[in-house]
């Protein structure tokens, strides 16, 4: 690998492109009234996907980039869940019918911070307001350190199909540096309980680029995790943005590796997982060959949304909870990030939309190009959806010029097919950024490109 390319591109801060345009482009011009109109226009026969955000944890992991609040008390969680159920009913009324649901994802924070009975009540509220059934995929993000047997049983009763466990690193030195002490035994026990509860596909989250992390410790974590045989892995690079996430100031920046070290850790984890029988999916996911994520990748049916790579192909995603983002045909709508303002809006009978974005025709074209690059490492401009046209010659000049990437062999363009070179796939976000018309227009800090 060319060390100069790693040095030059690896330190660039770019979006993860889980949406386009990205969240920094959202504006207050999209409010509750607009969102209500968009919900009323959801196609009746088009199943939707639901995301529910539970923004509470018992302790703060210092690497965390999520919207979450630390609480040792149960009262704030109970109050929030009451409001969340109100929002579910409000949205269902705005749609005007019991809309069918293909996928449900509980994220956070720590969704399993609620009690088993609270989760049952929330699931019952969803089932009363929306059309959920035996074909609905239900995924839950889980902290193995706090998952109980009773909660696992409750998840099974709700027909959970997928679960995602936070692992990050099994290295004790790294765990101490990020304030997340978690044994391999805790992880294995949680996995076993989820299997018994009916989870068909389990994902482990790993992170590289953490303080005091080395190639050797990254390999050791990957080996220990792979031995437990989850169906999937998501392997993310740590994004150190202490100006944006104040708790990250507790991490010793001097203990973080440079771009070369991060790249070496990422590739070492990838090689270890592939040797263990996992297939590399997109930029940062891995899956067993028989898992649905692998099958979707083979069929070039992989999608990308706010949870990363997915098989969820619903055209409408409805977000519930503070900070949650919805994606509808007309654009994006995000709830207020502040729990208090979110709760006040919902309690008054109004939707909590605080900002969003209305998609233009060119946005849709660019979004399609970026998603195919992120999912397939190539884009066939001859296969663009009907009605789409390649934007004018300004495309590719918004950030790193595509011409430069072509000259350096990072990408190739043959006929209608633009492809990312196999050895440079870790720079796919750099390639995608060439089609981002808005990059650099905000002060938002993104993760490094490698």
- Tens-digit pLDDT profile for residues 237-253: 999 989 889 999 999 99
pTM, to two decimals: 0.92
373 shares a domain with 270: no
For residue 7, pLDDT over 90 is answered with no
Total domains in the chain come to: 2
Give 276-287 pLDDT, tens digit per residue: 999 999 999 999
**Position 91 in a domain:** yes
Give 436-448 pLDDT, tens digit per residue: 989 877 545 555 5
Q: Residue 109, preceding bond cis, omega within 30 degrees? A: yes
Name the token pair of 370: 């970026």
The count of other CB atoms within 10 Å of the CB of residue 387 is: 8
Domain of 442, CATH number, reads: 1.10.10.920
283 shares a domain with 379: no
Torsion sign over Cα 190, 196, 197, 202: positive
283 shares a domain with 149: yes
Name the token pair of 7: 């040095």
For residue 396, pLDDT over 50 is answered with no
**Position 278 in a domain:** yes
132 shares a domain with 28: yes
367 shares a domain with 237: no
48 shares a domain with 131: yes
In angstroms, the CA 356 to CA 60 distance is 28
271 shares a domain with 378: no
In angstroms, the CA 449 to CA 13 distance is 6
Give 195-245 pLDDT, tens digit per residue: 999 999 999 999 999 999 999 999 999 999 999 999 999 999 999 989 889
Angle at 281 between CA 133 and CA 11, to 5 degrees: 125
281 shares a domain with 176: yes
Name the token pair of 295: 């099958």
DSSP state of 27: B
In angstroms, the CA 38 to CA 419 distance is 36
Domain that holds residue 184: 22-318
**Position 102 in a domain:** yes
281 shares a domain with 186: yes
Q: Looking at per-residue confidence, does 394 or 101 come out higher?
A: 101
**Position 48 in a domain:** yes
In angstroms, the CA 78 to CA 323 distance is 18
For residue 130, pLDDT over 80 is answered with yes
Torsion sign over Cα 149, 192, 273, 412: negative
234 shares a domain with 106: yes
92 shares a domain with 240: yes
50 pairs with which residues across the strands? Answer: 104, 318
Question: 283, 318, 353 — which closes off a domain?
Answer: 318
Gap between the terminal Cα atoms of the chain: 13
């Amino acid at each position: 690998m060319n060390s100069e390319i790693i040095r030059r591109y690896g330190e660039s801060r770019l979006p993860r492109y889980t949406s386009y345009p990205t969240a920094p482009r959202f504006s207050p011009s999209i409010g509750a009234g607009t969102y209500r109109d968009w919900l009323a226009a959801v196609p009746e026969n088009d199943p939707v996907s639901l995301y529910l955000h539970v923004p509470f944890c018992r302790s703060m992991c210092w690497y965390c980039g999520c919207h979450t609040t630390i609480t040792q008390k149960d009262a704030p969680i109970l109050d929030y869940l009451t409001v969340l159920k109100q929002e579910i009913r409000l949205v269902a009324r705005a749609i005007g019918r019991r809309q069918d649901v293909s996928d449900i994802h509980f994220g956070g924070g720590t969704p399993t911070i609620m009690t088993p009975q609270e989760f049952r009540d929330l699931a019952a509220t969803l089932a009363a307001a929306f059309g959920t059934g035996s074909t609905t995929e239900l995924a839950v993000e889980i902290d193995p350190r706090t998952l109980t047997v009773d909660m696992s049983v409750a998840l099974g009763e709700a027909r959970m199909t997928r679960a995602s466990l936070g692992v990050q690193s099994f290295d004790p030195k790294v765990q101490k540096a990020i304030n997340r002490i978690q044994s391999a035994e805790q992880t294995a026990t949680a996995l076993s309980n989820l299997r018994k509860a009916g989870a068909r596909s389990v994902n482990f989250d790993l992170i590289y680029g953490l303080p005091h992390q080395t190639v050797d410790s990254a390999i050791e974590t990957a080996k220990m995790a792979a031995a437990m045989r989850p169906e999937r892995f998501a392997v993310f690079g740590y994004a150190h943005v202490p100006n944006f996430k104040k708790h990250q100031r507790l991490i010793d920046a001097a203990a973080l590796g440079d771009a070369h070290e991060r790249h070496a850790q990422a590739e070492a984890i990838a090689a270890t997982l592939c040797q263990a029988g996992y297939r590399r999916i997109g930029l940062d996911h891995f899956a067993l060959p028989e898992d649905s994520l692998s099958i979707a990748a083979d069929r070039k049916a992989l999608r990308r949304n706010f949870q990363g790579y997915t098989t969820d192909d619903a055209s409408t995603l409805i977000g519930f909870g503070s900070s949650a983002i919805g994606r509808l045909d007309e654009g994006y709508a995000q709830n207020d990030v502040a729990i208090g303002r979110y709760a006040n809006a919902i309690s008054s009978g109004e939707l909590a939309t605080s900002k969003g974005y209305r998609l233009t025709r060119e946005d849709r074209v660019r979004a399609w190009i970026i998603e195919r690059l992120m999912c397939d490492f190539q884009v066939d401009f001859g296969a663009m959806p009907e009605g789409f046209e390649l934007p004018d010659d300004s495309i590719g000049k918004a950030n790193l010029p595509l011409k430069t990437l072509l000259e350096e062999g990072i990408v190739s363009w043959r006929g209608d097919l633009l492809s990312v070179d196999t050895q440079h796939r870790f720079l796919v976000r750099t390639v995608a950024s060439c089609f981002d018309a808005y990059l650099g227009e905000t002060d938002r800090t993104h993760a490094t490109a490698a």
